[in-house]
Amino acid sequence: MTEAVDEPVFWTDDSAFCEPLAHGEDVAAHFHDFGQLRYAASGALVTSTRVGTWVAPASRITWVPPFHVHSSRSYGKTDVRLLRVPVEPAERLPAEPSVFVASALLREAYLALASDHDPADSPRASLLLEVVITELARARREPLRLPEPSDTRLKAVTDLLHADPAGPATLAELGRRTGSSERTLSRLFGSELSMSFHQWRTLLRIQRALLELAEGTSVTDTAMRLGWANPSSFIEAFTDLVGQTPGRYRSAARAAHD
């Protein structure tokens, strides 16, 4: 799920439309001198920076502040609508990348603005942007930022976990595969990521579960595919982190596709 963010490119393109992205397609690391909102009208978009990874299925809007280096990966055929946010109104939004839950009003105003061919400073465009910014300021933010390490020893382990989030390997086993001791890795998880190995892997699995559920995978199949021993333990972990049951999340995500 992570994407490399080395040697970022400065992009000036502010088109509201991207060509549909195929499943697993990557967008290379880059940054803008303006803020950018990103909405997947279909599919799901994963946004990665040097400090974390954010997941945004349909009905979620990702915010990337000005000058934040970011890269992306699509899950499913993904239709992305982009909105440029000038520096001044961008100051009203969070200083770090975030994912918001889109209300019906926010989604409709966003899509109307993204499809508007009027100049960005036209009265209609300015009004729609104000609606979007105002709604975002009161929208619920997803708490599911997955922190990413900079220490090479820890990154070797998290790369393995990204490649196989359902794998049952213990931290000691992962340490043997990457040449680090369990004690060292455990200390690095706490000091650099402020969580334990178990907490980080659970959060990674929950992020992947968001994508599975948004594509219509059943709660039971999602639990089994992502390494939980039984659906009950998955439901408990998901509800604790997301604030709703996976079944309710799946229903809402599927409704957003329709």
Q: How many domains does the chain have?
A: 2
What are the two backbone dihedrals, phi and then psi, of residue 3, each rounded to the nearest 5 degrees?
-125, 150
Pull the structure tokens for residue 90. 């961008």
On whether both 132 and 213 belong to a single domain, the answer is no
Q: Based on DSSP, count helices (H) and strands (E) in the chain, helices before strands.
A: 10, 8
For residues 147-158, give the mean pLDDT. 94
On whether both 134 and 153 belong to a single domain, the answer is no
User: Within a domain: residue 133?
Assistant: yes
Closest to 55 in 3D by CA, of 24, 100, 21: 100
Stretch among 39-53, 162-176, 187-201, 217-231 having the lowest mean pLDDT? 39-53
Higher model confidence: residue 3 or residue 109? 109
Domain assignment of residue 211, given as a range:
149-257
Q: What is the CATH number of the domain that holds 166?
A: 1.10.10.60
On whether both 126 and 71 belong to a single domain, the answer is yes
Using a pLDDT cut of 90, give the percent of the chain over it: 49
State whether residue 200 is helix, strand or coil. helix
Q: What is the CATH number of the domain that holds 108?
A: 2.60.120.280
User: How far apart, in whole angstroms, are the C-alpha atoms of residue 194 and residue 204?
Assistant: 15
State residue 22's pLDDT score.
Answer: 75
Closest to 67 in 3D by CA, of 107, 111, 36: 36
91 to 32, 38, 52, 66: CA distances (angstroms):
15, 17, 21, 9
Closest to 194 in 3D by CA, of 145, 159, 235, 160: 145
For residues 30-41, give the mean pLDDT. 89
On whether both 77 and 164 belong to a single domain, the answer is no
State residue 17's pLDDT score.
Answer: 46
pLDDT tens-digit map of 10-26: 555 555 445 677 777 88
On whether both 188 and 251 belong to a single domain, the answer is yes
pLDDT tens-digit map of 47-86: 888 888 888 877 789 999 999 999 888 877 788 888 999 9
CB 32 within 8 A of CB 10: yes
On whether both 127 and 162 belong to a single domain, the answer is no
Domain boundary among 138, 162, 197: 138
At a CB cut-off of 8 Å and minimum separation 6, what does 239 contact? 245, 246
User: Within a domain: residue 3?
Assistant: no
User: Within a domain: residue 1?
Assistant: no
Percent helix, strand, coil in the chain (nearest 5)? Answer: 45, 20, 35
On whether both 126 and 157 belong to a single domain, the answer is no
Domain boundary among 82, 112, 138: 138
Closest to 54 in 3D by CA, of 62, 232, 25, 246: 62
Domain boundary among 117, 138, 159: 138
